[in-house]
Structure 1
């Protein structure tokens, strides 16, 4: 299957070339992320796409991940700080518009989702939102591989610095995980031509019939 070929091709690139990714491919990856699975359909995160070289250098700061600055584009997945009733109302309004139904017909949906999040602490909802970003990250990795765009997911970054430079706190967001995009520098990346290492499928998968 092409999907398995795509996934076997990809790896976490350690060294990028200076070649830039075409904006059309970036747009396709962003559309794939937007179509990613999301609990309740709430999509409790926003995505920041950074190609500005000066800003990427500032964001790298003292991080050991040089890919932050070397990448063609850097994607920052920023989760909601809290889930509000307005967030839920916005989802219901959008659902009514897209599905061409009345908002009143979705009262049950609104009450169900809103009551769930209001029954939990802000910290619980913040943690939930963070986990949702990783589902989107997974979609981004598959989409990038399909387009033969290299990608490196990273948690090794200064979240406080990112939040400050991108003004995330005033937007009600916080950086959770980042993804660099670009093209591998095969001559200088020690992983570029090595085989992917994964445990055998029979060890990974436990089938219960």
Structure 2
């Protein structure tokens, strides 16, 4: 597989064909990518909502309504095959940390009791660095969500699925629509998934990035 070719040919889709749907088996692969995305100290401080029905996408579209600054994203949300809402936990509390440790033990990550204790101490130390400041905790958890975002975008391109990362939406409206505050979550970014239509002008344009020597240096 030529990953560099995928990176240089994938693009942000600007218009979707509403008649084309991502096959269920590929959606399952994308779910796996989200679940197994990397995160700091394996904190996994996220939740992902996936909309595929018109009714579900309409709920998300309430955060990109006509007449709003985000209206340009409304057709993407409505016409995409699937839309993913990537959310961050508002706190990495003791219950979540305990659930992580229990899952790791179930999955066989601790050959010795000492290994389990080291993992627990190490993760609690780093989580504790962020707990004292809610704004810092929010910034930290959102960084982990963006790791999952990158994983999803590259994975979708590998499967030949078009994607659009969307920060242009009203997070408060979406959080209220999905009842996220009650779940201890906050919406961070959306991703539309599907297949481009003929109106996707971006597919015809060459990609543009700064020269390698201006962003990459050897030490």
Question: Same fold, TM exceeding 0.5?
Answer: yes
Larger displacement relative to structure 2 (115-124 or 45-54): 115-124
Q: Distance in 2 between matches of 1:202 and 1:145?
A: 26
* Distance in 1, Cα, partners of 2:192 & 2:209: 22
Deviations 1:148-172 (A, max 9, x none): 0000001101111211222211111
Shift of 1:103: 8.7
Describe how 1:1-209 pairs up with structure 2 within 5 A: 2-18=2-18, 19-61=20-62, 62=65, 63-64=70-71, 65=73, 66-99=75-108, 101=110, 104-105=113-114, 106-119=116-129, 120-185=132-197, 187-208=198-219
Q: Flag the 1:193–1:100 CA change in 2: closer, same or farther, 3 A.
A: closer
User: Cα deviation per residue 1:136-185 (whole Å; 9 max; x = unaligned)?
Assistant: 00000110000000000011011112112222111110100110000011
After the TM superposition, which of the residue ranges 109-118 and 29-38 deviates more from structure 2?
109-118
CA distance in 1, matches of 2:87, 2:185: 6
Q: TM-score, normalised by structure 2?
A: 0.88
C-alpha RMSD of matched pairs (Å): 1.7
Q: Which moved more, 1:43-52 or 1:28-37?
A: 28-37
Shift of residue 125, structure 1, vs aligned partner: 1.4
- Give ranges in structure 1 of 5+ residues lacking alignment: none
Is contact 1:59–1:161 with CA below 8 Å preserved after alignment? no
**How many residues are paired up?**
207
Distance 2:150 2:109 in 1: 31
Q: TM-score, normalised by structure 1?
A: 0.92
Q: Which runs of 5+ in 2 are unaligned?
A: none
**Following TM superposition, by how much is the alpha carbon of 1:54 offset from its aligned partner in structure 2, in angstroms?**
2.4
